[in-house]
Amino acid sequence: MKITIIGTGYVGLVTGACFSEMGANVTCIDVDVNKIENLKKGVLPIYEPGLEKMVLSNYRDGLLKFSTSLSDAMKNSNLFFIAVGTPPGEDGSADLKYVLEVAAEIGRNIESYSVIVDKSTVPVGTADKVSKAMKEQIDKRGVEIKFDVVSNPEFLKEGAAIVDFMKPDRIIVGADTDQAKKIMQRVYAPFSRNRDKIIFMSVRDAEMTKYAANSILATKISFMNEISNVCERLGVDVENVRKGIGSDSRIGYSFIYPGCGYGGSCFPKDVKALIRTSIECGFDPALLKAVEYRNEMQKKNLSQKIFTRFGNDLSGLCFGIWGLSFKPGTDDMREAPSIVLINDLVKAKAAVRAFDPVAMDEAKKTFPAKWFDTGKIVLTDQQYDALENADAMVLLTEWKSFRQPSFSSMEELMKQKIVFDGRNQYDPAELLEAGFEYHGIGR
């Protein structure tokens, strides 16, 4: 089977690599010449465990190719996955500019029946817009060519995307014709060998399923963060509450960990987009608005704790930060709580020393260059170097290497023995016994 993937970002590259791993001939297309040339050299634009090895292996074997020419790729393919970005607009709606540009280009070059798959996360009704954009171009050519537009949303967790794709819980396919369903059944057959994981539904149902899935997970996180704030004011340890409610099989333990807010490329964007979609169809999404509001407030939680402890003017103080990415297993810093905290610290005249196992390069792109040039932010090569002369350590990302720190090493390096645990990774009793002052979330 020959597959064309348009877009070599997170979703496109993982999708292309995994399809090629199962023996399909895949061509990944991108308009960014430098990105394509780097991919041909084995330089990936993102960090994802296991992805580099898979890309290099299948590129070497000729199963995975990279190109900037969609029209050339279309000569040998009739299955196209659109995996370009859908950045949020100022009003929170998903910007479909790139999706529709790809649809128009396919319409200008399509020669025979094809299936066009919306892999990007897009609002309900996008498939109709893709179909319209293609048909307009086909009509201009004065030809009649049949095609189907399918919705096949991704459910990839950053840091575990390869496993999620290769061993999916479910494969959602929104298709309106038997011909399109057969093609999608065939392309996903290698991923459904032990049981049929494909769930067929209408295109609009599939588009909504993606937004609903991410929004309910975001809701669980914001709910638990809300409870953590109540617990803190009542002298209750939220971690015991979490264990107590998580033991109920109707609730479960997933996504009920209190912390400093969710981030990344999915939850913030998708909640905003669903809020906007709801408003546009005449419904007031009160719950979704509350989920978003709580998350924004939760990202300020650690800043508020620090200002309460040290005052609003942090001149002369240094904070050692462990973790910059929004979650472990990725270098993604989009909407990360670290951005909010570091901005607050620097604006309050504090010095920041920070370490992350993989997100250091992203940090350099995220914060102003002058902050690095003037020493307001120092990125260290080792995690304990970030604690040198620090007045407090702040944990923001629960990387495994941060989970059992050496208290003696911390004591030797830090000016003050104070820990702000933004992910409730540490046992307060152990830190207190070692002479540290502890500040957690809801504890």
Diameter over CA atoms, the chain: 79
DSSP state of 156: P
Q: For residues 225 and 441, give the distance between their C-alpha atoms in angstroms, rounded to a whole number.
A: 8
The dihedral built from the CA positions of residue 393, 398, 401 and 403, taken in this order, carries a sign that is positive
Q: Is residue 425 within 8 Å of residue 398, measured between CB atoms?
A: yes
Write down the residue that tokens 């810093």 correspond to. Answer: 333
Q: Which residues are paired to 321 by β-bridges?
A: 354, 394
pLDDT at position 10: 94
Q: For residues 324 and 336, give the distance between their C-alpha atoms in angstroms, rounded to a whole number.
A: 7
* Set 18, 231, 260, 266: catalytic member: 266
Q: For residues 284 and 181, give the distance between their C-alpha atoms in angstroms, rounded to a whole number.
A: 35
Could you tell me how many residues make up the chain?
Answer: 443
Q: Is residue 324 within 8 Å of residue 286, measured between CB atoms?
A: no
Q: Is residue 130 within 8 Å of residue 116, measured between CB atoms?
A: yes
The dihedral built from the CA positions of residue 337, 339, 340 and 345, taken in this order, carries a sign that is positive
The residue among 350, 352, 345 whose CA lies nearest residue 321 is 352
pLDDT at position 93: 87
373, amino acid identity: D
pLDDT at position 92: 85
Q: For residues 98 and 407, give the distance between their C-alpha atoms in angstroms, rounded to a whole number.
A: 50
Dihedral pair phi/psi, residue 334, rounded to 5°: -60, 125
DSSP state of 94: B
Q: Is this model's pTM higher than 0.85 or not? A: yes
pLDDT at position 389: 98
Q: Is residue 201 within 8 Å of residue 209, measured between CB atoms?
A: yes
Q: Which residues are paired to 419 by β-bridges?
A: 393, 438
Catalytic annotation on 318?
A: no
Low-confidence stretches of the chain (pLDDT beneath 70): none
pLDDT at position 148: 98
The residue among 280, 251, 79 whose CA lies nearest residue 180 is 79
